[in-house]
Structure 1
Amino acid sequence: MISEMDSSQITENIEKLISGKTDEIFIKKEDFMIFREIWLNHPKKNSLIGTANHYGEVSYQYKSID
């Protein structure tokens, strides 16, 4: 399987989510392992809340836990 997003695109999407420029991001099954690596190392990882969708896609929203 070919990944549709690279790590820089995923990082950019996460930062847009945290900054409020977008309300939600979608991660396809093919991109999940790249996303997971970035997510595990992100200082706000506990504020990125994922919801499983159809076909292995996961949607993430930012919920501040200050």
Structure 2
Amino acid sequence: MTNSSMDFTRILDELRTGVKSEFTLEAENFPEFFEVWRSYPYQNAIVGEAHQGGKITYRKSDEDNA
């Protein structure tokens, strides 16, 4: 696991629990984020919306399964 300036697990947990309303991921951080995302146990609780330029905004799903 690489050292990161962002704790993606914490960010995902904050989205899932409502501490954060959204998180925008820059394209250059996606590979590192994906390594966390692929093993995150509550993927269904978070949705992502892609934007031009490779940015993705993540937020809590309306159908929270967590």
1:26 match: secondary structure:
strand
Give the letter for the 2:40 counterpart: H
Matches within 5 A, 1:1-66: 6=4, 9-63=7-61, 64-65=64-65
Identity %: 26
- Which portions of structure 1, spanning 4 or more consecutive aligned residues, are displaced by more than 4 angstroms? none
Structure 1 gaps, min length 5 = 1-5
How many residues matched? 62
Structure 2 gaps, min length 5 = none
Distance 1:28 1:45 in 2: 19
Please report the RMSD computed on the Cα atoms of aligned residues, expressed in angstroms.
2.0
Query: Larger % of helix: which?
Result: 1
Q: TM-score, length-normalised on structure 2?
A: 0.79
